[in-house]
Chain A
Amino acid sequence: MAADSQLITKQPHKPKLAVWKFASCDGCQLSLLDCEDELLLLAQEVEIAYFMEASSAVVEGPYDISLVEGSITTPADLLRIQEVRRQSNFLVCIGACATAGGIQALRNFADVSEFTSVVYAQPAYIDTLKESTPISTHVSVDFELQGCPINKLQLLEVISAFLNRRAPQVPPHSVCIECKLKNNVCVWVAHGTPCMGPVTHAGCGALCPSYNRGCYACYGPKENPNSDSLCHWWEQKLGANKSTVIENLRNFNALAPHFKEVSEHRERGDKA
C-alpha cells in the first residue's frame, strides 16, 4: 500500500482528492456528482483538488487520494498514468475500464488497425495502442472498486474508509448472496434464465435478477469464481449456445484475469 499512514493525522490541511479520466464513458466519475445528498458534505471533508469534469480550479499535486477512471489505450496515457501514480499517495481504480480494460478491451481480441479503418476514413490521424489495459498493468494500485458502473455508495465507503484509515467494506462474494439477502426468487432455478450471478462480484444489489433478468456480469468476477463450471451448466442445462456464453464472459470486464482465461478456453473448445 502506498498510503502514508502518517499523512492524514499529521497534516494540517484537508486531504486532497483528485479524479483522473482515461478511456471511459465518464459514468464512474459521474457517480461522485450523483451523490446529491453527500456531495457538499464530502467537500467539507476533502479538498477537491483536481476534477476537470466538475471544476476549472486545479490545485497542484501531490494528492492524498486519487480516483482513476478509464483504461490505458494511447501512448500519451501510458506516460500520464505514471505521473498520476507519482503524484498520488493512495490510488483507487474505479470501474470496469480501470480495473479490467472496459468494453473497449474487446479490441484486444481483434485487429485494431482494421477497427480504426472501420470508424475513421483516414486512420492515419488516429493514434492508439493495440490493446486497452487496466491501470494495474502499468502501476501499482491501492484499491480496485469493480463495476460498470461502480456503485456510488461503495465509492463513498471507499473514500470514507480512506479518511478514517480503515479497510473498505466491499464484500467480494457473489451476486447470488445479494439475491438471497433481497429474498429474490432465483431467475435461473425458477425460470431457467441464464445468469452470471454465481460468478459475479457483488455490489450492484442483484439488480438484474430483481428485474427478472439474468445477471450479465457488469461487476466482473467475484473472488474464486468457477466460471468454467457455470458455462458448462449454461450449455448443458439451459441450452445456451457457445457464442452467448462467450459474450457474457467477454463484455465489460473482458480482461479480468479469470473471465479472459475461461472465454479463451471456451472459444478453443477446451473441456473445463
Chain B
Amino acid sequence: MKEIPASGNSKTIKVDYLARVEGEGALFIRYDDDTVHDVQLKIFEPPRFFEAFLRGRDFSEAPDITARICGICPVAYQMSALHAMERALGLVPTETIRALRRLLYCGEWIESHMLHISMLHAPDFLGYPSAVAMAGDHPDIVRQALEIKKAGNALVRLIGGREVHPINVRVGGFYRLPSLASLHGLRPQLAEARKLAEQMARWAARLPFPHCEYAYEYVALSNPNEYPMNEGRIISNRGLNITAQDYEKHFREEQVPHSTALHSVLIERGAYLVGPMARYNLNFPQLSEPVRRIAGELGFKPPCNNPFKSIVLRCFEVLYAFEEALRLIDQYQAGGEPYLTAEPRASSGCAVTEAPRGLLYHRYSIDRDGKIAFAKIVAPTSQNQKTIENDLRLMLPKFMHLSEEHLQGLCERAIRNYDPCISCSTHFLQLHLQHEQRGSP
C-alpha cells in the first residue's frame, strides 16, 4: 500500500468484510477534504489455482471442473469451457444444441440476476441489511422476487439436471435432450414469472438513484441476430471490434499487491466495464420489442451511464430472458443426436460468452491424448475490478458532505452495483494481510 503525504484531515474508509457480495472482499479508501488518495478493493478470497490443476486433466472434464469456480454462475463456466473445447476439436454444435444452451443460459441469467436484484442489491435502496429483513415491510416484493428466481432455477434444473453445477452439459452437446413435453410443462411457470418480472422492472425503475454518471468504455459480445449470450464479436463503444481469438492481443491481466484477483485492462486504454450495463448499452436493438417498449416508457433508453441504475437493467435482462426462453421453447424441435463427438487431437481453442456479470474468456491447449496442457480463464469481476475502484475515486468528492457512516454505506453500494463475484474473480488469490486484520469471525 503506498504511503501518502501526511495531512491533517486525512481520513480512511475501511470495510473489513464486504457483505452481500459473493466471496470475500474488503475495501480501503484514504482521502482528505480535497482528494481521494488511495482506493483499494481488496480481495482476500483464498487462491484455488484452477488454471494450474486443470493441466493434465481430460478435456471432457473442463466444463464440470470450471463450473466449480462459481456456484452462482456455473453455467457460464460450462458454456465458455465447452465452446473453447469445441473450437479446439473443430466441432460445430447443431441448431438444437445451440438453442438448448441458450435456454440454459436464460435460466442462469434469471436466477443469478434475481439473487442480486432482490437479495443483495435492493436492500441497499430501501435501507435494510438483508432481503429477509426487507420482507418484513415489503413481503410482496421479496415473495415475487423469489418466485421469479425459482422459475429461473426450474429452467436450469430441467435442462441441466440441478441448479448448482449442472450435470447434463458436455463438450459436443448434452447427455440427454429434454422432451418437448417437459419443456412445454414449464411454460406456464415461465409465463407467470415473466409477468412478475415486468412488475419488478417497473418497481425497480422507481427506486431512488444517486446522481452518478460516468464515461465508461463498455465491452460486450455483440451479434446482429440476437442479444448476446454464447456467440458474437467483442465490441466496445470506443471502436473495439474483435473475435475471441484476438482477446489476448487487446486485453492484459495485471497483478496488484492488494488483491488475489488479477486486474484486467484494455492494452493502452486501461479500465473498461463488462456486464449488464455494457450489454444493454451496446445491444439494445437486439432486445425484444416489449422490453424495448417498457424501457422507453420507464425512461431507460440507452445510454444508461449510472451504475446505480444497473439494478433496473438487470430487471430488463431478466424480462428478456423469460421472453427468449418462451420463444426458444415454442420453436424447439425435439429429436436428433444429443451430442457430437470428436477424437482428441493436439490443438487449442478459446471462447468468450456472456456470464450474468459479463465477458468470460477461456482458452485451452490440449495434447493428442486429449489432456489439457494449458488453461487460461478471465472472469468478469477481474475485468470490472479496476472500474469499480475508479467509480469510488470519482464518486467520493461529490459526497464528502455525508457523514462517514453514510459515505461508507455509499461506497459499499457502489461496489455492489457490479454484483461482484469474488469467488470467480480470484483466480484464486489470497491477500497478504500485512496491513489490516480481518474483522471476522
Contacts and interface: CB of A to CB of B under 8 A. Distances in A.
A binds B: yes
Interface of A: 18, 20-31, 33-34, 36-37, 39-40, 43, 48, 50-58, 61, 70, 73-74, 76-77, 80, 83-84, 87, 102-104, 106-107, 110, 112, 114-116, 118-122, 125-128, 148-149, 204, 207-208, 210-213, 216, 218, 243-244, 247, 251-252
Contact of A57 (B51, B72, B133, B260): B133
A54 B132 contact: yes
B68 A25 contact: yes
B146 A39 contact: yes
Nearest to B20: A56
Contacts of A116: 47, 49, 52
Contacts of B135: 40, 43
A119 B441 contact: no
Contacts of A103: 48, 50, 53, 65, 68
18 contacts: A25-B68, A26-B71, A27-B74, A27-B164, A30-B72, A40-B142, A53-B20, A54-B20, A54-B120, A54-B131, A55-B133, A56-B20, A58-B19, A103-B48, A104-B53, A125-B257, A207-B161, A212-B175
A26 B23 contact: yes
B438 A57 contact: no
B386 interface: no
Nearest to B111: A34
Contact of A22 (B46, B129, B176): B46
- Rank and list the top 7 A-B pairs by shortest CB-CB distance, nearest first: A27-B71, A55-B130, A57-B129, A56-B19, A115-B52, A106-B53, A23-B46
Contacts of A76: 44, 430, 433, 438
A22 B45 CA distance: 8
Most buried by B among A50, A51, A106: A106
Most buried by A among B65, B69, B146, B150: B146
Contacts of A218: 165
Most buried by B among A53, A103, A119, A204: A119
A76 B371 CA distance: 35
Contacts of A27: 68, 70-72, 74, 164-165
A27 B53 CA distance: 20
B57 interface: yes
Nearest to B253: A121
Most buried by A among B46, B52, B175, B338: B46
A50 B175 contact: no
A110 B55 CA distance: 11
Interface residues on B, range: 35 or more
Contacts of A120: 255, 262, 429
A37 B133 CA distance: 16
A115 B53 contact: yes
Given A30-B164, A80-B441, A103-B65, A126 B260 contact: yes
Contacts of A18: 441
A251 B61 contact: yes
Given A26-B423, A149-B71, A53 B52 contact: no
B133 A127 contact: no
Contacts of A127: 430-433
B20 A247 contact: no
B150 A36 contact: yes
Given A55-B20, A127-B431, A122 B255 contact: yes
Nearest to A38: B146
B49 A53 contact: no
Contacts of B132: 39-40, 43, 48, 54-55
A33 B111 CA distance: 11
Interface in B130-156: 130-133, 135, 142-143, 146-147, 149-150, 153
